[in-house]
């Protein structure tokens, strides 16, 4: 089955479009970020897809809000037995009570947190976020250094932060790139995809045909990596896949 892909922005919402040899158009909204993806018949063009998305905007916005509510209601308790993800691998949490600062380590299929018995779940969650942040900060510089000579643009500054609706973003004028903290839970090739995606935006602002052509040139398997990125693991294991 032949396919083609496109990116659209509708009312400020990023939409991934896959054109397939199918009869009907399908719109889906996926956790954890509320990503909107459309499977569209090849006979339709971007304008027709945009109109279909506009007509479904109330439903899309309701779905996105439900996902955000689920995120707020599903905070991890940070107790032994919970599932957590690191670089795309699922680990069972083990809590060891000991004095000192909260710290984490991975061995086998265990993610172990060493924490004072009196530490709160919130304090442990905050410590885990910082551990994830540190993991990303170890990997991102090497990826940026790898891709700068290939893409032909330098990243002046980059930042890791929580992002509600995007895996990454960039400012073309300042060459500042932001990365979603949740990327530490994904397979490393997903992080590289986002690095290349955002650096390509330094050459092409929007998701145009030229942007797609550049992505095909720089990272031929980017679509497969995007699919991996948009699957579980998620922020909380009870959710489905993005």
Residues 139 and 221 in one domain: yes
Task: Please write down the HEC assignment for all residues of 1-50.
Answer: CCCEEEEEEECCEEEEEEEECCCCCEEEEECCCCEEEEEEECCCCHHHHH
Q: Which of 121, 118, 116, 80 is nearest to 101 (CA)?
A: 116
Structure-token pair, residue 12: 């400020």
Residues 95 and 215 in one domain: yes
Residues 38 and 107 in one domain: no
Residues 11 and 131 in one domain: no
Task: Tell me, yes or no, whether 239 lies in a domain.
Answer: no
- Looking at 36, 53, 73, the residue that finishes a domain is 73
pTM of the model as a whole: 0.78
pLDDT score of 104: 97
Helix (H, G, I), strand (E, B) or coil at 65: helix
- Looking at 41, 73, 105, the residue that finishes a domain is 73
Task: Tell me, yes or no, whether 179 lies in a domain.
Answer: yes
Residues 57 and 123 in one domain: no
Task: Tell me, yes or no, whether 235 lies in a domain.
Answer: no
The domain that holds 126 is classified in CATH as 3.30.2010.10
Task: Tell me, yes or no, whether 58 lies in a domain.
Answer: yes
Strand partners, 18: 5, 39
Task: Tell me, yes or no, whether 165 lies in a domain.
Answer: yes
pLDDT score of 221: 95
Strand partners, 7: 16
- Looking at 50, 73, 96, the residue that finishes a domain is 73
Per-residue pLDDT in tens (0 to 9) along the chain, 242 residues = 456 778 888 998 889 898 989 999 999 998 777 889 999 999 999 999 999 999 999 999 999 888 877 665 567 789 999 999 999 999 999 999 999 999 999 999 999 999 999 999 999 999 999 999 999 999 999 999 999 999 999 999 999 999 887 899 999 999 999 999 999 999 999 999 999 999 999 999 888 889 999 999 999 999 899 888 877 544 433 222 22
Residues 49 and 126 in one domain: no
Residues 42 and 141 in one domain: no
Residues 130 and 43 in one domain: no
Q: How many structural domains are present in the chain?
A: 2
Residues 61 and 93 in one domain: no
Residues 61 and 95 in one domain: no
Which uninterrupted H or E stretch holds 73?
helix 57-73
Residues 182 and 129 in one domain: yes
Task: Tell me, yes or no, whether 241 lies in a domain.
Answer: no
Give me the DSSP letters along 158-209: EEEE--SS-SEEEETTTTEEEEEGGGGGS-HHHHHHHHHHHHHTTT-SS--H
Task: Tell me, yes or no, whether 149 lies in a domain.
Answer: yes
Task: Tell me, yes or no, whether 164 lies in a domain.
Answer: yes
Domain coverage including residue 49: 4-73
Structure-token pair, residue 147: 């891709």
Residues 187 and 67 in one domain: no
């Amino acid at each position: 089955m032949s396919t083609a892909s496109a990116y659209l922005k509708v009312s400020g919402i990023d939409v991934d479009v896959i054109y397939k040899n199918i009869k009907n158009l399908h719109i889906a909204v996926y956790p954890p970020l509320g990503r909107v993806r459309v499977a569209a018949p090849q006979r339709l063009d971007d304008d027709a897809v945009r109109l279909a998305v506009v007509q479904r905007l109330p439903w899309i916005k309701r779905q996105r809000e439900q996902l955000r509510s689920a995120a707020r209601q599903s905070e991890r308790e940070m107790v032994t037995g919970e599932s957590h993800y690191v670089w795309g691998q699922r680990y069972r949490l083990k809590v060891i009570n000991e004095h000192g600062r909260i710290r984490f380590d991975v061995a086998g299929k265990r993610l172990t947190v060493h924490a004072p018995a009196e530490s709160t779940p919130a304090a442990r969650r905050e410590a885990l976020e910082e551990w994830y942040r540190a993991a990303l900060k170890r990997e991102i510089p090497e990826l940026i250094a790898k891709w700068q000579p290939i893409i032909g643009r330098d990243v002046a500054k980059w930042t890791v932060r929580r992002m509600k609706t995007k895996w990454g973003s960039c400012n073309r004028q300042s060459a500042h790139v932001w990365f979603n903290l949740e990327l530490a839970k994904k397979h490393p090739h997903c992080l590289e995809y986002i690095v290349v995606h955002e650096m390509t935006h330094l050459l092409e602002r929007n998701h145009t045909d030229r942007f797609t052509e550049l992505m095909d040139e720089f990272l031929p398997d980017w679509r497969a990596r995007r699919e991996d990125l948009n699957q579980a693991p998620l922020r909380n294991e009870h959710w489905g896949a993005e």
